Every structure is written in C-alpha cells, then in structure tokens.
C-alpha cells in the first residue's frame, strides 16, 4: 500500500522507463525524477517508492489524469517490468493482476 496522489484507476504493464516501453505502461520507479515528465502523456499509471503529493511529477500526473501512487514500499522489486498491474491513485493501492 502507498499513498494515492493522482486519482483514478488504471490497468497496465509495469515498465522501468528503459527502452520503448509497453502499451498501457505503468512506470514503476524508486524516485520521482522530473526527467520522466515527457513520458506522462503516454502512461496508464505511475508508481514510486518515494515522493509526495506536491512533487513536480505528481502535480503533472494530476494534470494529465494519470493515476499515481507514491510510497509503494519496494515497488521496483515487487513489480518488475512486464508485471500486469492495477493502480488505484485514489486509494493508494497497487496490485498485480490476478491470474485467470
């Protein structure tokens, strides 16, 4: 569990920001680096291990309507690239998609 900082819910594929990235990418990072700002328009969601509701990237996520969660403990290890995720930026919840 983390802290929701940009409301909404998204389903997508975890991505670390390297390479072209998947469709419906959920960027999963350690810290919120302003260098990620140009990626926001194409993201389904944003998950960070650290950050605050007032960071530059979370403010932009709200502007773009991208669900975002910060404070997601050990997110880069729990959600490696390719993991299907549900991100709830309202509740601050990030969960791997349940197998069918």
pLDDT in tens, 5-52: 999 999 999 999 999 999 999 999 999 999 999 999 999 999 999 999
What is the percentage of the chain residues whose pLDDT exceeds 90? 94
Total domains in the fold of the chain: 1
- Residue 67 is part of a domain; what is its CATH number? 3.50.30.10
Collapsing DSSP to helix, strand or coil, 60 comes out as helix
Residues with catalytic function: 56
Confidence at 66, pLDDT banded by 50, 70, 90 = very high
- Structural contact between residues 27 and 3, judged by C-beta atoms closer than 8 angstroms: no
pTM recorded for the entire structure: 0.95
What is the percentage of the chain residues whose pLDDT exceeds 70? 98
The whole domain housing 77 covers: 3-96
Q: How far apart are the first and last CA of the chain?
A: 23
Strands 93-96 and 84-88, sheet pairing:
antiparallel
The pLDDT of residue 1:
75
Rounded-to-integer distance, Cα 72 and Cα 83, Å = 15
Q: How many CA atoms lie within 13 A of 99 on its CB side?
A: 0
Nearest residue to 50 via CA among 79, 74, 17: 74
pLDDT at 100 over 90: no
Q: What share of the chain is helix, strand, coil (3-state, %, to 5)?
A: 20, 35, 45
């Amino acid at each position: 569990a983390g802290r929701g900082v940009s409301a909404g819910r998204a389903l997508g594929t975890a991505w670390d920001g390297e390479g072209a990235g998947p469709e419906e990418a959920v960027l999963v990072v350690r810290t919120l680096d302003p260098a990620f700002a140009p990626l926001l328009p194409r993201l389904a969601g944003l998950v960070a291990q650290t950050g605050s509701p007032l960071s530059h990237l979370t403010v932009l996520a709200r502007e773009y309507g991208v669900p975002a969660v910060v404070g997601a403990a050990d997110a880069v290890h729990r959600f490696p690239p390719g993991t299907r995720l549900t991100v709830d930026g309202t509740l601050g919840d990030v969960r791997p998609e349940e197998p069918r």
